[in-house]
């Protein structure tokens, strides 16, 4: 898989919560860290995503915010 997005983080699918139109997909990226994405049900089906699959979080944003307590 080649993409122009530089921020590609490999993980394992640990949860897929289907909704009416979108699904919430959670990737475990290691060290107790998880990334959650909201994607269409059509995308979940076309990718065949299921718990236990290896997958990538691809992050493409025009701005990134950082906060600190």
Q: What is the pLDDT of residues 31-65, one digit of tens each?
A: 999 999 999 999 999 999 999 999 999 988 777 77
Q: What is the pLDDT of residues 2-17, one digit of tens each?
A: 877 778 899 999 999 9
Q: What is the domain class of 7-59 according to CATH?
A: mainly beta
Beta strand extents in 19-53 (DSSP E only): 22-30, 33-40
DSSP bridge pairs for 36: 26
Q: For position 64, what pLDDT does the model report?
A: 76
Task: Judge whether residue 1 has pLDDT over 90.
Answer: no
pTM: 0.84
Find out whether 16 and 53 touch, Cβ atoms under 8 Å.
no
């Amino acid at each position: 898989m080649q993409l122009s997005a530089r921020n590609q983080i490999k993980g394992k699918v640990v949860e897929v919560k289907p909704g009416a139109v979108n699904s919430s997909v959670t990737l475990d990226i290691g060290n107790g860290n998880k990334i959650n994405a909201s994607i269409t049900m059509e995308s979940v089906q076309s990718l065949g995503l299921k718990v236990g699959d290896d997958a990538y979080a691809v992050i493409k944003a025009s701005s990134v915010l950082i906060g600190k307590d």
